[in-house]
């Protein structure tokens, strides 16, 4: 089974293009919950009106779903 550490390590590759830093390093990944082969992620953005919100959510979902043992990733934006 995948671990929270594995998820956060993978997400270090997801970079906010405006800031040039990873979402993990900026502490924007607020919660990672793992239920069998489903990973549920709560994340925030640098601003609620971020024009790249959909792109970043999609990037997080895709990155997590590439981890061995993950069937689906659910990403929820929280503020």
Work out how many domains the chain is built from and give that number: 1
* pLDDT value of position 56: 97
Domain that holds residue 65: 4-77
* pLDDT value of position 69: 96
Question: Is residue 51 within 8 Å of 78, Cβ to Cβ?
Answer: no
Q: Is 36 left (phi over 0), alpha (psi -120 to 50) or beta?
A: left
Question: The CATH number of the domain where 24 resides is what?
Answer: 3.30.300.130
* pLDDT value of position 59: 98
pLDDT tens column, 15-57? 999 899 999 999 999 999 999 999 999 999 999 899 999 999 9
Integer Cα distance of 11 and 59 in angstroms: 9
Among 13, 66, 64, CA closest to 39: 64
């Amino acid at each position: 089974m995948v671990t929270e550490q594995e998820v956060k390590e993978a997400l270090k590759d997801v970079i906010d293009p405006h800031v040039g830093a990873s979402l993990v390093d900026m502490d924007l990944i607020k919660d990672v919950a793992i239920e069998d082969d489903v990973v549920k992620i709560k994340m925030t953005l640098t601003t609620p009106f971020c024009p790249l919100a959909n792109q970043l959510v999609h990037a997080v979902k895709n990155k997590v779903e590439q981890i061995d043992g993950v069937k689906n990733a659910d990403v929820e934006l929280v503020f």
